[in-house]
Structure 1
Amino acid sequence: MTRPPRRVLGALVAAGAVVAVVTLSPVPLQQVLDRPLGRVLALLHGWGLPGSAHLAEAAANVALFVPLGLLAALVLARRWWWAVLVGAALASLTIEVVQHAVLAQRVGSARDVLANTLGTLVGIGLAAVWQRVRRRRASGLAPVAGHGGRG
């Protein structure tokens, strides 16, 4: 495997820092975003779409870990992608334990660990698609049917 570009490594470090700040800050992000989130949820309800604070939090927990899964998978060889998933699950578990034990305004949750792990898995899946597309382009093969081809 070739060495990953420095920008991918830098983005991975930045994504890790964002996760650390968002998850380990003493004040939960939803307290800061409470009013804008309420407006978005009201808008969704107005359009007839389901929306709740719990659903929004679960989606945010998934989305938070997608970049970590994607970037870590791009940095590591495919045979190590399982370690990305395990490492992210353990990191998420550690975050939730710290939130429960140390941060008075935060609540640790097994549901968050599952959502974070799912986000990592989505990121790994995106890395697999990205690499497949790059290999197909490099080999001169046509795009996958229905995905960017003409006609």
Structure 2
Amino acid sequence: MDQPASKQLACVLISLHQHGIPRWFNYNFVEASANVALFIPVGFVAALAFPNKRWWQIGAFGMLVSGCIELGQFLFLHSRFASPSDVMTNTSGAVIGALVAVLATQRRRPAAFRQRASQNL
């Protein structure tokens, strides 16, 4: 658990569970959801910055960035630990962001451009 917020998050989760929120909504779920959510902008911005790249290439970029972050945690932050599941959830967020960017930009393009873009998917 992340030390600064773990106690507060545990209290919030206990309160939510007492008010009917299911037990599967726990620390692991919150952490995984946060990892996905934090990488959606990475994928979105990368897809806009590199419009010729396919969504899976943006996902690979997200995986590379996440892998570097996890390696940095492993080497330099001994109070935290590197996790392959963090890389997976971060990559998922980058892919979601890339797909949202593709969908958002396709709606504003003429039909000929949309057809070419859909071939890239």
- Count of residue pairs the alignment pairs up: 108
Tell me the amino acid that sits aligned with residue 46 of structure 2. A
Following the alignment from structure 2 to structure 1, what is the Cα–Cα distance between the partners of residues 54 and 89?
Answer: 21
RMSD across aligned positions (CA): 2.0
- Identity of matched residues, %: 35
- Aligned runs of 1:72-91 on 2, under 5 Å? 72-91=46-65
Matching of residue 31 in structure 1 with residue 3 in structure 2: yes
Tell me the amino acid that sits aligned with residue 103 of structure 2. V
C-alpha change, 1:122 and 1:44, in structure 2 (3 Å) is: farther
Superposed displacement of residue 131, structure 1: 1.3
Following the alignment from structure 2 to structure 1, what is the Cα–Cα distance between the partners of residues 70 and 35?
Answer: 12
Question: Which position in structure 1 is the counterpart of 2:114?
Answer: none
Q: Which secondary structure does the structure 2 equivalent of 1:79 belong to? A: coil
Q: Which secondary structure does the structure 1 equivalent of 2:109 belong to? A: helix
Q: Which secondary structure does the structure 2 equivalent of 1:33 belong to? A: helix
Following the alignment from structure 2 to structure 1, what is the Cα–Cα distance between the partners of residues 54 and 99?
Answer: 14
Matching of residue 65 in structure 1 with residue 7 in structure 2: no
Q: Report the TM-score, using the length of structure 1 for normalisation.
A: 0.63
Superposed displacement of residue 33, structure 1: 2.2
Runs ≥4 residues deviating over 4 A: none
Following the alignment from structure 1 to structure 2, what is the Cα–Cα distance between the partners of residues 129 and 43?
Answer: 38
Higher relative contact order (CA 8 A, sep 6+): 2
Tell me the amino acid that sits aligned with residue 31 of structure 1. Q
Q: Pick from 96, 102, 106 the counterpart of residue 128 of structure 1.
A: 102
Structure 1: gaps spanning 5 or more residues: 1-27, 137-151
Between 123-132 and 71-80, report the one with greater CA deviation.
71-80
Matching of residue 118 in structure 1 with residue 86 in structure 2: no
Question: Which position in structure 1 is the counterpart of 2:21?
Answer: 48
Q: Which secondary structure does the structure 2 equivalent of 1:73 belong to? A: helix
Following the alignment from structure 1 to structure 2, what is the Cα–Cα distance between the partners of residues 119 and 75?
Answer: 17
